[in-house]
Amino acid sequence: MAQTSSGNNDDPETFCVCKGPEEGKMIACDGASCEVKWFHFDCVGLKRAPKRKHWFCKSCSKQKGQN
């Protein structure tokens, strides 16, 4: 029987395009089908949270035509 991920394993969950752990300032992509979802500020070139209500990663922005 295959074992599913239930959060009880020793493998740390990874985030962002860097595949790093959840640490520091992070932002969630508002793209409904975003494959990554959470990004480190440094990895996406942010110094502070954007003032706009919704934020889309580079990949989702391209899909929506929102460069």
Residue 3 pLDDT class (50, 70, 90 cuts): very low
pLDDT single digits (tens) 19-31:
999 999 999 999 9
Closest CA to 29 of 52, 1, 6: 52
Longest dimension (CA), the chain: 48
**Residues at the annotated binding site for Zn(2+)?**
16, 18, 29, 34, 40, 43, 57, 60
Return d(Cα 50, Cα 28) in angstroms, integer.
11
pTM: 0.74
**Residues at the annotated binding site?**
16, 18, 29, 34, 40, 43, 57, 60
CATH superfamily of 26-64: Zinc/RING finger domain, C3HC4 (zinc finger) (3.30.40.10)
pLDDT number for residue 10: 64
Q: Is the pLDDT of residue 47 over 90?
A: yes
pLDDT number for residue 13: 86
pLDDT number for residue 30: 97
